[in-house]
Structure 1
């Protein structure tokens, strides 16, 4: 795992230089602390900071082909690289390293852009063809590894993180439409960032740039949708296929020249992954888990059951409110977007523990809920659809109380109000957003806290209308679960879970996360399953539980999913220390940045401080976290003081070609 950056010049005779690419690489030190290298010619500069996992002794990048016409910088893993290498050797390709990086370079040399279809991995890479003066940028299917770019009149810049681009180009304003997307959808739409002009290459896409001008990103993979496969209607046969696929996905993801650990939440998905690792013959498996001082968030009991069952060597970080509050600004710095929840912060602290224990790689269970029907939002949509057939029923809405007992048991909320809250809206179940409409309608109330000027600028922008324009053809004809799964994967998985709770907080401490459930073969299989093998009645992940029954403790296999959450309102209690929060949420700071209505936010914050148990409204919790994280972004990236303090990086290796200025490290 690594960090990459690059500059492709449009100016004749004014190519990028070593100082510029070194400035971009400096903010990425955390992604690749082991080695650094730069390629430089009159048209292009690109660099890599390496976290060495495969080919420890010969993997420094950039890497070129035999005649030096193709060069690659790469962030990620191609888990099937050994199989690909064997095929390429048979075709006459010669290799000088033991890395998967070189395999990808030769794969592109052999197949061009169609090479992407052959890679089973998580990646973002850049390949430079010096003969054609053509740059090829690509990103993995579901967006596990990030890649951003900025197209200006002078040059095209790209990098693994936005801060690398801003270190070269200077601070940029926040994009108000992107803020509206975050405060509605919890993330930006694919391809967009919260910084004006900075784009993200969407998952499953590539682009080609010539003479510094990028093409429109082209998809090579999309979230699949299939009619139900008759061959998968026997649950026992389907369970066996799922078990085999996931076992092989774990096998591939254990490939590394360093020790591999696992995250252990106490839930079904991470328990299955840890168990499969143990069955692969891995002795003395090291696992890492989160514990919370707040009992309602803590799953230590279930973690302990699996630790005892497998005999793993477990390390736990115990997270309290003070730790979350203290680490929140650093987490925002690495995530580079506003947050409506604090959930990324404990994951940031967990990856620090992994790093401190000397590990670089962990496997985790992300993706199972999206592809196999694990979320409450899928159940909620099914209940509401069932209720809509008999809107006057008094019994059907009671299923919602079974789904959300902690909501309906709150004495401050009346049952009839909550039933109205979940009732089917005007468009009924035909709405393409039926499954998510309540979540998004509730979230978009956060926009009322924006300043009058911002709300005026956003008066004609509707994130949901923009999202509707991106939906696949005939989306509305899919069954309810398939539509909900698509929305969850398209937005929340790539835009939040794999970034703010995945790559960004893991790589903040030089830790690579690998996700067997997101092997593209497992995804493809899951989307061929009948809906009833994912969500059977209100039993989530039915087939997954059937496939691994007996492999994990029964108490874990049969428990209902506990959504991963972290404290919010406790952070703003009267007992919290007076620090950056008070400063950034003060009326003067809010007025100066200009995003929020100072009086509204200040009043909301005062309510938190004056209510010992905080506020019960999820909407208010999200509003305050959203305002605070946006204020932090403004300080860090728009005002840019932290950016200016990053300095330069001196690369370990410099490859200069084609008339680039000679100097130290020239090859």
Structure 2
């Protein structure tokens, strides 16, 4: 992975000092080298994490005559096959990098090239002769790409902090973006929590020239009409899925010029990826896991079972609540968005462990829950649909007791409360039927915020307006998956908890379950192949049951979690907590009502943050992360003492001074 930056202006020559300063905000994304290209209208910057063609893959990179330039963050995993195809078409290559494949693919197919890429990327292509800038982002949103327009210029970068290196770019909250974050757990592209700053949506291309900017999808999330799926044999689908997942894992493990490790959480998904590596590749495998001092969150016994079965060289890190509290300001500086859970913090510490052990790349299991219906929210929706057919049935309501077996306050312990809670909004025709309970719970955070006209907008209604018209023909599970893959997956799982926590320690994550061919197959499957009754990820379990021990295959689904309020009020919290909840700073930020914050903080101090309700845990984490965002990015400018000049070797192609 890498960091990319750029400035486009048709009115003035981009400043070389600015693009250099933008790169200095991204040293964590590119510690192995850097480069700049500039001509009278554009400046492109690149901070490199060298993984493929370490010696020859420096960027920005051009075609043979210098008319096309690219700065690229990511990996095109099918670059070997594309290179062969392009060579047969007459293209000549001078490096072994996937970056050069992008340049030639653009020359050959223009924007049609993105449909051919199987990978994870955010990139910018500059056509010098046509004076045209092209931005593109991968299908699922693995890699980030932000941009803003100001003063007749367009600035883009892998992270917002690089945009704020320009002191002319305004720094203020976007209140609708905040409302999205406090409803969906994340903003929804193109919106961010910063006014005037957008993110390119996953699966989209944006072309900017003198005539303006047009943005359009090259890929869209689609599902077959309900009842009109092609006749599908389950056993054949199992075989096809196994083949595609094995290939997705293999290329992500083998196509690298540096060592690749694997995360091992103790759950099904990472167990499958690690098992495939062990069975179908020849390289020795090293695995990395998180342990928790608090047994409520620890999955160490399952991790040990899998590591021993595979014979991996296993490393683990035990995290205490105070570790999370200490790391949290750094976490938020990298998320660049409010977060409602402290779970990203241990992931930051885990990537640090991988880097300390000499790994720049890890394979992980993210994406399987969204693609194969693994989350409890899908099981919950299935039960609520069952109840909706006869809301007065006591027998049907008893099914709720099967939900969230891992939760200390599970529905099984409070069946009356569970029935009342989950029986709300029982309208199966509602396209957001699956997510209403989560959104209603999360949006209670908005009750703590200061009144603001923009924040009163109905963000849920706006999101539903963006659903494809054909969603009414989809089965309920497909609609639920669409909502999850547009909101939580790119905005939280792959960003706040994924790319940002990995790249903070200069580690690239690779996600086989988000492989193009795996996702395309999964989206064509009938719902019953993914969620059979309440058996989540049914087809995935069947496809790899021979590689997994029973302890992993048959364990109840348990999501990754970490202590929230207890991490900040365990008696050893850093002074930053007091600073962020100071009434003057809360008032200055203008997001939360100071009296509500004071009451919540007092409650946390009384309890030490222990056994707080789900809502209060989200509230305090949202308050602290939002206050940190204000302090670091709005009151500040996103800079840090960790910023440093672009990494050597530094290459500069400057056509302005050369002329």
For Structure 1 versus Structure 2, the TM-score category normalised by the shorter chain is: over 0.9
Cα gap change, 1:229/1:359 in structure 2, threshold over 3 Å: closer, same or farther?
A: farther
Distance in structure 1 (CA, Å) of the matches to 2:178 and 2:84: 47
The residue number in structure 2 matching 1:614 is: 610
TM-score relative to the length of structure 2: 0.96
Cα gap change, 1:411/1:474 in structure 2, threshold over 3 Å: closer, same or farther?
A: closer
Cα gap change, 1:357/1:406 in structure 2, threshold over 3 Å: closer, same or farther?
A: closer
- Tell which deviates more after alignment, 648-657 or 145-154: 648-657
TM-score relative to the length of structure 1: 0.95
User: Secondary structure of 2:428's match?
Assistant: helix
The residue number in structure 2 matching 1:24 is: 22
Cα gap change, 1:103/1:599 in structure 2, threshold over 3 Å: closer, same or farther?
A: same
Q: Is the 8 A contact 1:171 1:637 kept in 2?
A: no
Q: Is the 8 A contact 1:232 1:238 kept in 2?
A: no
Q: Is the 8 A contact 1:22 1:650 kept in 2?
A: no
Q: Is the 8 A contact 1:22 1:651 kept in 2?
A: no
The residue number in structure 2 matching 1:311 is: 311
Q: Is the 8 A contact 1:232 1:530 kept in 2?
A: no
Distance in structure 2 (CA, Å) of the matches to 1:502 and 1:47: 23
Distance in structure 1 (CA, Å) of the matches to 2:509 and 2:566: 29
For 1:263-662, list aligned pairs within 5 A: 263-405=263-405, 414-425=414-425, 428-451=427-450, 455-458=451-454, 460-573=456-569, 575-577=571-573, 579-612=575-608, 614-640=610-636, 643=639, 646=643, 648-649=645-646, 652-656=649-653, 658=655, 660-662=656-658
Deviation at 1:612, TM superposition (A): 4.4
User: Secondary structure of 1:596's match?
Assistant: coil
Cα gap change, 1:229/1:460 in structure 2, threshold over 3 Å: closer, same or farther?
A: closer
1:123-174 CA distances to partner (integer Å, 9 max, x unpaired)?
Answer: 1111111111111111111100111101123201110111001112445101
2:144 is the alignment partner of 1:141: no
- Tell which deviates more after alignment, 258-267 or 455-464: 455-464
Q: Is the 8 A contact 1:141 1:204 kept in 2?
A: yes
Cα gap change, 1:487/1:189 in structure 2, threshold over 3 Å: closer, same or farther?
A: same
- Tell which deviates more after alignment, 196-205 or 464-473: 464-473
Distance in structure 2 (CA, Å) of the matches to 1:505 and 1:392: 46
The residue number in structure 1 matching 2:80 is: 82
Q: Is the 8 A contact 1:449 1:597 kept in 2?
A: yes
Q: Is the 8 A contact 1:272 1:548 kept in 2?
A: yes
Deviation at 1:573, TM superposition (A): 3.2
Cα gap change, 1:618/1:409 in structure 2, threshold over 3 Å: closer, same or farther?
A: closer
Deviation at 1:470, TM superposition (A): 0.9
User: Secondary structure of 1:218's match?
Assistant: strand
1:77-96 CA distances to partner (integer Å, 9 max, x unpaired)?
Answer: 00011111111111111111
- Tell which deviates more after alignment, 469-478 or 481-490: 469-478
Deviation at 1:225, TM superposition (A): 1.0
The residue number in structure 2 matching 1:41 is: 39
Deviation at 1:408, TM superposition (A): 8.1
Distance in structure 2 (CA, Å) of the matches to 1:349 and 1:234: 44
Distance in structure 2 (CA, Å) of the matches to 1:81 and 1:572: 45
Q: Is the 8 A contact 1:535 1:541 kept in 2?
A: yes
1:30-56 CA distances to partner (integer Å, 9 max, x unpaired)?
Answer: 101001010011111001111111101
Distance in structure 2 (CA, Å) of the matches to 1:612 and 1:552: 40
Q: Is the 8 A contact 1:572 1:609 kept in 2?
A: no
Q: Is the 8 A contact 1:139 1:203 kept in 2?
A: yes
User: Secondary structure of 1:125's match?
Assistant: strand
Distance in structure 1 (CA, Å) of the matches to 2:522 and 2:228: 10
Q: Is the 8 A contact 1:249 1:519 kept in 2?
A: yes
Cα gap change, 1:650/1:317 in structure 2, threshold over 3 Å: closer, same or farther?
A: closer
Distance in structure 1 (CA, Å) of the matches to 2:120 and 2:574: 42
Q: Is the 8 A contact 1:54 1:99 kept in 2?
A: yes
CA-based RMSD of the aligned residues comes to: 1.9
Q: Is the 8 A contact 1:40 1:656 kept in 2?
A: yes
Q: Is the 8 A contact 1:15 1:42 kept in 2?
A: yes
Distance in structure 2 (CA, Å) of the matches to 1:627 and 1:504: 20
Cα gap change, 1:307/1:615 in structure 2, threshold over 3 Å: closer, same or farther?
A: closer
Q: Is the 8 A contact 2:185 2:488 kept in 1?
A: yes
Q: Is the 8 A contact 1:4 1:47 kept in 2?
A: yes
Distance in structure 1 (CA, Å) of the matches to 2:100 and 2:412: 61
- Tell which deviates more after alignment, 14-23 or 106-115: 14-23
2:109 is the alignment partner of 1:108: no
Cα gap change, 1:438/1:501 in structure 2, threshold over 3 Å: closer, same or farther?
A: same
User: Secondary structure of 1:29's match?
Assistant: coil
Deviation at 1:291, TM superposition (A): 0.5
- Tell which deviates more after alignment, 537-546 or 576-585: 576-585
Distance in structure 2 (CA, Å) of the matches to 1:317 and 1:549: 28
- Tell which deviates more after alignment, 610-619 or 218-227: 610-619
User: Secondary structure of 2:472's match?
Assistant: helix
For 1:195-206, list aligned pairs within 5 A: 195-206=194-205
Q: Which runs of 5+ in 1 are unaligned?
A: none
Cα gap change, 1:613/1:20 in structure 2, threshold over 3 Å: closer, same or farther?
A: closer
Deviation at 1:405, TM superposition (A): 4.1
The residue number in structure 2 matching 1:50 is: 48
Q: Is the 8 A contact 1:384 1:424 kept in 2?
A: no
